[in-house]
Amino acid sequence: MEKKKQIGEHIVDHLSERMNEEIVDPVLDEWLAEDESNQEDFKRYKEIWKETGSYLEQETFNAQYAWDKIDRIKKERDNKRKRLVNIGYIISGVAATLLLVLGFSKMGVFDKQPEMLVRMTADYGSRSEVVLPDGSVVKLNSGSDITYSYNAKENIREVNFQGEGFFDVSKNKIPFVIKMNNGLRLKVHGTSFNLQAYTDEKTVEASLVEGCIELDHGNDKLLMNAGDMAIFDKQTNKMRPTSGVLSHSYSWLEDKLYMDHMPLASVCKYLERRYDVTIHLQKDLGNSIHYDGVIQEETITDILGVLSRLSDISYNVKGKNISITSK
C-alpha cells in the first residue's frame, strides 16, 4: 500500500507537469518497467487526466484512497467482464475511477471548485456505469442520460436524469438531488435505489433497496424507507406507494426482465431500448396481451420466439425493423 501511495504521488507530479517528457522520474520509470499492466494503468491515467485534470489542483489528489478504489473497481470489473461484454455494456470504469479519485482530497475539492460537471449516456443497445466525483456509483440502463454537477455556492450535488438507473449514493452532508424533466425531484441521503424515469413513459417508478429518499413534486412529498416502492403519474402529477417484488425492478442488472402482467406494448418498448431496434406493433395488440414470467436476455429473436409461444402473435425481422402481428 505504501508503494502504491508513493507511485500515486509520482503519477500526479508527472501529470501536473503537463506530461513533460523531458522530466525524468526514476521511480516512475522503474514502476512502469516492472509490469505491462502498470503501463496500461498509466496510459489510462494520462487519457483521463486530459479530460478531467483541469477541474482540480495537484494537492487535491489523495493517493492512498485512489489506489484502494482502483483495486476494488478493477477487481469487480475483472469478475464481471465476461458477463458485461456479452450483454453489450459500455463500462467507463477507468474514466469513472479517476473522476472518483480526483473528487476526494484531504483539503476537500468541494471547497475549491465553484462547479464540477460529469455527463454519461447509455445509448439504445448499451448500458453504462459511472463513478461520480463524490464516490456515488450509477449504473445506467439503455436509453438513459445523467448529468452530475456540484455547485459550491448552493452547496448541493445536483443530478439531471432521464431513463433508468441504479444509484448507489455515497453518504455525504452535502444534499444529493435528482431532477427529472416533469418537475419531479428525488432527495437522497446515502442510499441505494432503482429509478425509472423515461421521458416517453407515463409514470416514474422508484424502488428503494436501502437508506432513505424523498420524492418531491410541488407541495406533494413522499418519504420512502428501505423496501418501499412508489410510482408518480405524470398525467395527474400524483405519487403513491405501490407494491411488488422489489428485486424485479432492478433485475435488468442481472440481464433479466420480470414481466408482472406486463402489456405487450411495454415489453416492446423495453426491447426497443435494449436492442436498439424499431418495433411496429399491430395497434390492437399492445394492451390486449399481457405476460407474466421472466425472460433471460439473450438475442432479440430468441425473446421474440418466447413471446410468440406464450401468446397468439407472429413476428418478422428485417435488420433493425421488427413487425409484430396476430397469427
Instruction: Tell me whether strands 278-281 and 229-233 are parallel, antiparallel or unpaired.
Output: unpaired
137: β partners? 131, 168
What CATH number corresponds to the domain at position 320?
3.55.50.30
Q: Of 252, 273, 292, which closes a domain?
A: 252
Least trusted range by pLDDT, from 42-46, 94-98, 194-198, 293-297 = 94-98
Q: Of 234, 252, 270, which closes a domain?
A: 252
Instruction: Tell me whether strands 127-131 and 156-168 are parallel, antiparallel or unpaired.
Output: unpaired
Q: Is the Cβ–Cβ distance between 113 and 76 less than 8 Å?
A: no
317/305 Cα distance (integer angstroms): 11
Q: What pLDDT shows up at residue 115?
A: 57
Is residue 248 located within the same domain as residue 135?
yes
Work out the average pLDDT over 186-203.
92
Is residue 230 located within the same domain as residue 280?
no
Domain count across the chain:
2
Is residue 311 located within the same domain as residue 242?
no
Is residue 175 located within the same domain as residue 210?
yes
Residue 55 lies in a domain: no
Q: What pLDDT shows up at residue 186?
A: 94
Is residue 226 located within the same domain as residue 155?
yes
Q: Burial-class residue 292 by CB neighbours within 10 Å (0-12, 13-18, 19+).
A: exposed
Is residue 168 located within the same domain as residue 239?
yes
- Rounded to two decimals, the pTM is 0.67
Is residue 166 located within the same domain as residue 233?
yes
Is residue 169 located within the same domain as residue 189?
yes
Is residue 197 located within the same domain as residue 273?
no
Instruction: Tell me whether strands 144-151 and 290-296 are parallel, antiparallel or unpaired.
Output: unpaired
Is residue 157 located within the same domain as residue 197?
yes
**pLDDT digit string (tens) for 226-271?**
999 999 999 999 999 999 999 999 999 999 999 989 999 999 999 9
Residue 10 lies in a domain: no
Containing domain of residue 209, as a range?
114-252
Other CB atoms closer than 10 Å to residue 120's CB: what's the count? 22
What sign has the CA pseudo-torsion 52, 142, 194, 69? Answer: negative
Q: Of 219, 252, 285, which closes a domain?
A: 252
- Site of grid cell 421472466: 294
Residue 188 lies in a domain: yes
